[in-house]
Amino acid sequence: MVGSLILRTALVLAAAGLLGACSPAATGVGTSASPRTVELTMTDQLTFEPARIQVRRGETIRFVVRNASKVGHEAYVGTEEEQQVHAQKHGLVPIDRQWTTSHMGYGIHVAPLGSGVLVVKFDQPYQYVIGCHYPGHYAAGMRAVIEVAE
C-alpha cells in the first residue's frame, strides 16, 4: 500500500516536471482546475521542508507531502488559532490509529516513509501554518508558515 502510494506520487511528480519544462503555468498561480504543486517533506528532526511557503490570495495549492521520517506525522493547515483548536481535538485520537485516518479537515496523516496529497484553496489573506500535532511535535517546532499575498 505504501509502496504504491510512493510510486503514484513519483509518477505525478515526473509528469509535473515535464509540464514545467514547457508550460509557464507551472510557475504561475494555481487554480482549482489546475492547482500549483508544492512539495513538502516531513523529517525525523520534526520539521517541514520548506519551512516557509508563499502563495497568492485565491490560489489553490496541491501539497505533495512526503514523510521521510520513521514515525507518522500529520500536515494540518489552518491559522494559528485553528492549530490550537485542532491540537485539543487531536489529543483524543489514540496514537496508534492517528495515521490510519486519511483526512481530517484540511489535514492528512502520513504514515512512516509514506506520502500523501492535500489540496487547499487560500481565499483569505491570513498567515497560515501547516502543523503536526502528534504528541510533542508542534511544541518541538514541527510547523511551516504559509504567507498569503494579494
Residues that bind Cu ion (CB under 5 A): 73, 132, 134, 137, 142
Residue of closest CB approach to Cu ion: 132
Q: How far is the CB of 132 from Cu ion (least distance, A)?
A: 3
Q: Nearer to Cu ion by C-beta: 120 or 132?
A: 132
Burial of 40 from C-beta contacts in 10 A (0-12 / 13-18 / 19+): buried
Q: How far is the CB of 134 from Cu ion (least distance, A)?
A: 4
Q: Nearer to Cu ion by C-beta: 58 or 112?
A: 112
Q: How far is the CB of 71 from Cu ion (least distance, A)?
A: 7
Hey, what's the torsion of the CAs at 108, 41, 134, 45, to 10 degrees? 180
Q: Nearer to Cu ion by C-beta: 132 or 148?
A: 132
Q: Nearer to Cu ion by C-beta: 36 or 73?
A: 73
Q: How far is the CB of 146 from Cu ion (least distance, A)?
A: 17
Give the whole-angstrom CA distance, residue 74 versus residue 39: 15
Q: How far is the CB of 111 from Cu ion (least distance, A)?
A: 12
For the chain, the 3-state helix, strand and coil shares in percent, each to the nearest 5, are: 30, 35, 35
Please say whether the beta carbons of 48 and 144 come within 8 A: yes
Cell numbers placing 91: 489529543
H helices within the chain, ranges in order? 2-22, 80-90
Q: Nearer to Cu ion by C-beta: 59 or 74?
A: 74
Give the whole-angstrom CA distance, residue 57 versus residue 4: 34
